Amino acid sequence: MLSAMPRRYELLPVVLAVVALGGCERRQLCNAPDCGTLVDAAIGEPGTLLPASTEEITARDVEEQLFLKLADVGMSMNTIGDEDFQPLLAQKWEWDGPLTLVFHIDPRARWHDGQPVTAVDVAFTYDAYSDSTVASPYRAQLKRLASVTARDSLTAVFRFRERYPEMFYDAVYHMRVLPAHLLRSVPREQWKTAAFGRQPVGDGPYRFVSWQAGQAIELRSDTTFFLGRPGIRRLIWRFTPDLGVAVTQLVADQVDVREQLVTPTMIDRVRTAPQVKLYPFAGNTYTCLAFNLRANGDTSKANPIFGDRELRRALTMAVDRASLVKSTLGDIGKVPPGPMSSLLWIWDPEIRQLPYDTAQAARILNARGWRDHDGDGVRDRDGQPLAFRILVPSTSVLRRQYAQLLQEQYRVIGVHVEIDALDPGALQQRISSGRFDSAILSRSNDPSPSSGITQTWTRGGIGGSNYTRYSSPEFDRLVDRAIAAASRDQARQLWRAAMETINADAPAIFLYSLDNVAGIHRRVADVQIRPDSWAALLRTWRIPPDQQIDRDRVER
Amino acid sequence: MTAWLLRRLAASVAIIFAVVTFVFILIHLAPGDPCIVGTGEGVPDPAVCRSLIRQFALDQPVLVQYWRYLVELAHGNLGYSFALHRPVWDALVDTMPFTLQLAGAALLIDFGLGLALGIYQAWRLNRLPDVVLGNVTLFVYSLPTFWLGLILLLLFGEKLRLFPVGGASDPVLCPLVDSFYCLADRIWHMVLPAVTLGLVGAAGTARFQRAAMLEVAQQDFVRTARAKGLPERRVVLHHQLRNALLSVITRFGLTLPFLLTGAVLVETIFAWPGMGRLTVDAILRRDYAIVTAAALIASSLVVAGSLIADLLLGFADPRIRVHEDAVVDIVTA
């Protein structure tokens, strides 16, 4: 018995090899022109794939392939009027008076279960998105729509409450059309947890195949898609816990796409992988040092430091933003000319900003009575030192680094800064409740300046995401006029004036706007990236037959 | 024995209850709004947030929420995940097998490799292999698990490309081929995380086992076995080892908690879709139901492991017996 044991162990590797080869032998190879598998390293796993109920990034990217909009914004990112929009589910559209927009659904459009897409689906979708029970994150963006009805099976009619330049954008950008015949019977309060959200049936270029919890979501091209067969047959979103793991998988050639590399360190790592090509594109985030204009913990009183406009201007002039960007972000960062990312069409480097001028900053501080009376290196007034704290999320290496650099720049002009690195949840609670001096915050924009800037910097956003509690009637008036401007040129002038107003008031220091860099496998051809959504044009990407590798040819 | 077992089970339930209560209150006291945190840094519509918080009854006082949780728990309902939009039980059923697989593989490495090294060192006492292995195991034992994981990942995953750098299976091939291939693929994916989790423990087990072997080597029965002229291999494996294993069983019971807590880090580093990663994500998103359920499962497993170790010790060592009226724990008896 004992002498037989070693022989059995010797067989173990053989058994494992046979098991592995047995699996391999059953594989067939794909030979069609659209063969190809694209694996994306996604950070985090979505909760649901029901578009009305989620705004998670990975969910949005997958939904982009599953569910169509009526039309979508073009590469110009112009959100005014309708001339730059590309038709998708709507074959065409026309204006029926100043407040009525009529869409004609493409009669070839089908849900993946074979049912035709109709105007009833469009009306149902609007009803769901605007229903408070569904609690869609896009509900607020639809408030200027009065109704959506179905005139006949292929004609959807949108009626607006008022006329404004971004009517078309609001009608098409926020909603993905949903299948009424599959969702009508699902109680609205259960939409977030509906089974449909984990096994969706869409009308887009890709069909849902599987969702392995914690691991991956797989889609397969719809070969009958009415706008043309997608160029790549399989799409897989592989879930990773963080950017480091995602980048490691890209470098090790185990995934094909990492759409945002975020930091120069990660970009340098990816540069070492010969199979990966880098694609820079405009980013949709900006980061600022936001000052709390009300007293820390008591919003009824002005902040003793940041309530003073001149002092805020001095603190802004004391920061060399250009050199900070250069030293920390290199080519992928820019100093934003206001609260905006480079995605927005109102981005204009000529917008007037406060200069970097430490001498002028010191003069202002002296004039306001902030001097170093006791010789300890920190300015003071009436016995109170000029000191404040900066909150940063402990999970962001970049923002922690920025806080340290700001601390040093402020030390030079006699301002004492302490840094508190907090868990994102704790940080969010502190800034929401007004219990902070200042915080380094990142904000993201959709392609329209109207929604993000309004929510974060106007009086209407106080109690919401205007954490600084900045309140300027002049700024609000300019923003309102810019949103209602008749032409793009006029809107641009008004936005510029609004930006110059907020820059002069300095409720925050707009530190950097990150450009995105995507790492994509070199074998992928015809890569087009739309800045607001890298996956929006994925159906046009392809993998030429002579470039295909093993994972492209594997077939069921 | 039955009475002892019942008492141990009752004590186990009390421990689990205490852990769940502690975690439930702690996570609810932690700053952060699950609505805001759960949706990233963007701020959702306050009306949307209010609606979600009402829907999940998060606007109730903590004690009310706790009572409702206990009532639901008594009915076998672990609640709904705020962030995952699905029943907690479904999320645990998806992730628990991965953690158990990883912990099982790590346990094999820990005790398989650790015992072998410890025995070999004791056999080659004070010779070159013992000295070298003694230093190596001390070095490995002092390594932080997360650091070891990162180094293995970079070396064997990214640089040498011998193993996958994350995940539990190949998402390209596995869905298309039969389960035999996927089994081999799963083992291949498990190598680095299991080695990371098991190697440090193996170094500890080796040192522990070597010491136990040396202690037993001083006993009269070992001297007698040698005096009878038994071969050295038989003395070591049959007389010395069997008695030295008793202390290892105790170590087994103590190792389980470390494997489960260690899995939290290792699963994050290797993108292993287990309970550890689920729990970390849930803590960051203030997903109360998942965090509390994970604590419930983890404490149950730890208590069960400890109980099994005690029972094994009782069976393995005939000198240890528990009387009906004995309150004393077997391990300490």
Spell out the residues 6+ positions from residue A482 whose beta carbon is closer than 8 angstroms to its own: A449, A491, A494, A495, A498
Residue B85: closest C-alpha in chain A: A193
Burial class of A420 by CB neighbour count within 10 A (0 to 12, 13 to 18, 19+):
middle
CATH number of residue A79's parent domain: 3.90.76.10
- B91/A252 Cβ within 8 A: no
Spatial separation of the C-alpha atoms in residues A1 and A4, rounded to whole Å: 5
Nearest to A392 by CA among A421, A429, A432: A421
Q: Are residues B80 and B147 in the same domain?
A: no
- Contact with chain B for residue A55, Cβ under 8 A: yes
Output the six-digit token pair for B18.
Answer: 């205490």
pLDDT of residue A3: 38
A114-128, A286-300, A390-404, B68-82: lowest mean pLDDT where? B68-82
In 3-state terms, what secondary structure has residue A287?
A: strand
Identify all chain B residues contacting A262, using CB atoms and an 8 Å cutoff. none
Of B87, B106, B136, which closes a domain?
Answer: B87
Q: Which of A24, A48, A133, A391 to mutate to test the interface with B (most CBs of B within 10 A)?
A: A24
Selected residue of A40, A211, A554, A555 to mutate for chain B interface (largest B Cβ count, 10 A): A554
Tens-place pLDDT, residues A440-462: 999 888 889 988 898 899 998 88
Taking CA A182 as the corner, what is the angle to CA A177 and CA A184, rounded to the nearest 5 degrees? 85
Confidence of residue A97 (pLDDT cuts 50, 70, 90): very high
| Residue B235: per-residue pLDDT | 87
Across the interface, whether the CB atoms of B277 and A214 are under 8 A apart is answered: yes
The pLDDT value given to residue B332:
39
Q: B48 and A137 in contact by Cβ < 8 A?
A: yes
Measured in angstroms, the CA of B268 and the nearest CA of chain A are apart by: 6
A55 assigned to some structural domain: yes
Residue A301 has φ and ψ, to the nearest 5°, of: -115, 155
Which runs of E-coded beta strand occur in A423-547?
Answer: 438-444, 508-521
Q: Contact A240/B46, CB-based, under 8 Å?
A: no
Question: Do residue A107 and residue A158 come from a single domain?
Answer: yes
Is any Cβ of chain A less than 8 angstroms from the Cβ of B166? yes
Confidence check: pLDDT of A13 > 80: no
A450 domain residue, yes or no: yes
| Per-residue pLDDT, A22 | 46
| Cα A304 to Cα A194: distance, rounded to the nearest angstrom | 50
Distance from CA of A136 to the nearest CA of B (A): 7
Å between A24 CA and nearest CA of chain B: 7
Instruction: Say if residue A451 is in the same domain as residue A314.
Output: yes
CATH code (residue B118): 1.10.3720.10
Domain that holds residue A274: 9-67+204-282+517-552
Across residues A82-108, what is the average pLDDT?
Answer: 96
Interface of A with B in 221-280 (CB under 8 A): 234, 236, 238-242, 245, 248-249, 251-254
Work out the minimum CA distance from A451 to partner chain B, whole angstroms.
Answer: 12
**Which residues from A are below 8 Å from B269, CB to CB?**
245
Per-residue model confidence (pLDDT) at position A152 = 96
CA-nearest residue of chain B to A218?
Answer: B171
Contacts of A251 in chain B (CB under 8 A): 158
Same domain for B131 and B21, yes or no, is no
Residue B116, burial from CB neighbour count under 10 angstroms (0-12, 13-18, 19+) = middle
Residues of B in contact with A256 (CB under 8 A): none
Contacts with B145 (C-beta within 8 Å, 6 or more apart), sequence order:
B196, B197, B200, B262, B265, B266
Question: In the prediction, which pLDDT does B252 show?
Answer: 80
Residue A192 pLDDT exceeds 50: yes
Q: Which residue of B has its CA nearest to A190?
A: B85
Q: Which has the closest alpha carbon to A478: A450, A456, A452?
A: A450
Quote the Cα angle for B250-B254-B260, to 5°. 145
- In the predicted model, what is the mean pLDDT of chain A? 91
Average pLDDT for residues B121-135, to the nearest whole number?
91
Strands (E), A252-360: 257-258, 276-291, 294-295, 298-302, 333-334
Mean of pLDDT values over A478-499: 93
Question: Is B284 an 8 Å CB contact of chain A?
Answer: yes
**What pLDDT score was predicted for residue B48?**
67
pLDDT at residue A12 greater than cutoff 60: no
* Same-domain status, B57 and B118: no
Question: Which pLDDT score, from 0 to 100, does residue A11 have?
Answer: 43
Based on the fold, state whether residues B218 and B113 are members of the same structural domain: yes
Closest partner CB to A248 (pick from B80, B157, B281): B157
Same domain for B127 and B240, yes or no, is yes
The count of structural domains within chain B is 2
Confidence of residue B320 (pLDDT cuts 50, 70, 90): low
Most confident among A500-504, B35-39, B68-72, B147-151 (mean pLDDT):
A500-504
A23–B271: do the CB atoms touch at under 8 Å?
no
Residue A241 lies in a domain: yes
Verify that A399 and A529 share a domain, yes or no.
no
Q: How many CB atoms lie within 10 A of CB A518?
A: 19
Whose structure tokens read 């996958």?
A: B164
Question: Is B96 near chain A, with CB under 8 Å?
Answer: no
Identify any residues that bridge with A239 across adjacent strands, giving them in sequence order: A42
Please report whether residue A188 resides in a domain. no
* Residue B58 and residue B32 share a domain: yes
* Residue of higher predicted confidence among A514 and B301: A514
A245/B165 touch (CB, cutoff 8 Å), yes or no: yes
Domain that holds residue B11: 2-87
- Give the whole-angstrom CA distance, residue B108 versus residue B201: 10
Q: How far apart are CA A276 and CA A301, in angstroms?
A: 54
- Alpha carbon distance A341, A343 (integer Å): 5
Provide the pLDDT for residue B47.
Answer: 66
**Helix, strand or coil, per DSSP, at residue A442:** strand
Residue B37: list chain A partners with CB under 8 A: 424-425, 428
Q: What is the DSSP string of A86-153?
A: EESSEEEEEESSTTEEEEEE-TT-B-TTSPBP-HHHHHHHHHHHT-TTTT-TTGGGGTTEEEEEEEET
Q: Is residue A199 part of a domain?
A: no
Q: Which pLDDT does position B330 carry in this prediction? A: 42
B265: distance to nearest CA of chain A, Å?
Answer: 11
Q: Taking the CA of residue A250 as centre, how many other CA atoms within 13 Å lie in the half-sphere pointing to its CB?
A: 35
Tell me chain A's radius of gyration from C-alpha atoms.
Answer: 27
Do B317 and B195 share a domain, yes or no?
A: yes
Per-residue pLDDT band for B297 (boundaries 50, 70, 90) equals confident
Q: Is A2 within the bounds of a domain? A: no
**B274 vs B265: CA distance, rounded Å:** 11
> What residues of chain A lie within 8 A of the CB of B268, using their CB?
241-242
A486 touches chain B (CB under 8 A): no
Q: Verify that A360 and A490 share a domain, yes or no.
A: yes
pLDDT of residue A358: 96
Q: How does DSSP classify residue B143?
A: S
What's at B315, amino acid-wise? F
Nearest to A20 among B55, B169, B181 (CB): B181
How many Cα atoms sit within 13 Å of A81 on the Cβ side?
A: 9
Q: How confident is the model at residue A17 (pLDDT cuts 50, 70, 90)?
A: low
> Could you give the CA distance from residue A399 to residue A515 in angstroms, rounded to a whole number?
16
Q: Are residues B175 and B261 in the same domain?
A: yes
Q: Chain A: nearest CA to B189, how far in angstroms? A: 12
More confident residue, A309 or A488: A309
Residue B186's CB is within 10 A of a number of other CB atoms, namely 16
Q: Same structural domain for residues A471 and A338?
A: yes
In the predicted structure, residue A523 carries a pLDDT above the cut 60: yes
Domain count, chain A: 3
Q: Which of A19, A27, A555 is the closest to B184 by Cβ?
A: A19
Q: Do B166 and A248 touch (CB under 8 A)?
A: yes
Kindly report the nearest CA distance between residue A539 and chain B, in angstroms: 19
Last residue of a domain, one of B66, B87, B108: B87
**Percent of chain A beyond pLDDT 70?**
95
Span of A99-108, A517-526, B271-280 with lowest mean pLDDT:
B271-280
Same domain, B126 and B138: yes
Of these ranges, A351-355, B267-271, B329-333, the one predicted with the greatest mean pLDDT is A351-355
**Given CB atoms, is A197 within the 8 Å cutoff of chain B?**
yes
Residue B321: predicted pLDDT: 61
Q: Where is the domain boundary, B72, B87, B102?
A: B87
- Tell whether the model's pLDDT for residue A318 goes beyond 90: yes
CB under 8 Å to A288, separation ≥6 — which residues?
Answer: A339, A440, A441, A443, A508, A509, A510, A511
pLDDT in tens, A153-175: 999 999 999 999 899 999 999 99
Band of pLDDT at residue B324, cut at 50, 70 and 90: very low
| Dist CA A523 CA A273 (whole Å) | 13
- A24 contacts on B by Cβ (under 8 Å): 177, 181
Q: How far is CA B216 from the centre of its chain?
A: 29
B59 and B98 part of one domain = no
Using DSSP's 3-state secondary structure scheme, residue A28 falls into strand
Residue B257 has pLDDT above 80, yes or no: no
Is A62 in the same domain as A81? no
% of chain B at pLDDT higher than 70? 89
- What is the secondary structure of A522-546 as a DSSP string? TT-BS---BTTBTTTTGGG-B--GG
Which of B39, B161, B176 is nearest residue A555 as measured by Cβ atoms? B176
| Residue given tokens 């009300």 in the structure block | A294
Residues A154 and A27 in one domain: no
The CATH number linked to A226 is 3.40.190.10
Contact A127, A113 (CB under 8 A): no
User: Is the pLDDT score of B44 beyond 60?
Assistant: no
Indicate whether A294 belongs to any domain. Answer: yes
Are residues A19 and A114 both part of a single domain?
no
Residues, chain A, total?
556
pLDDT tens readout for residues B230-253: 888 888 888 888 888 887 887 887
The residue among A30, A29, A32, A13 whose CA lies nearest residue A21 is A13
Shared domain check, A97 and A246 = no
Please report, as a single letter, which amino acid is at residue B221. Answer: F
Q: Do residue B167 and residue B262 come from a single domain?
A: yes
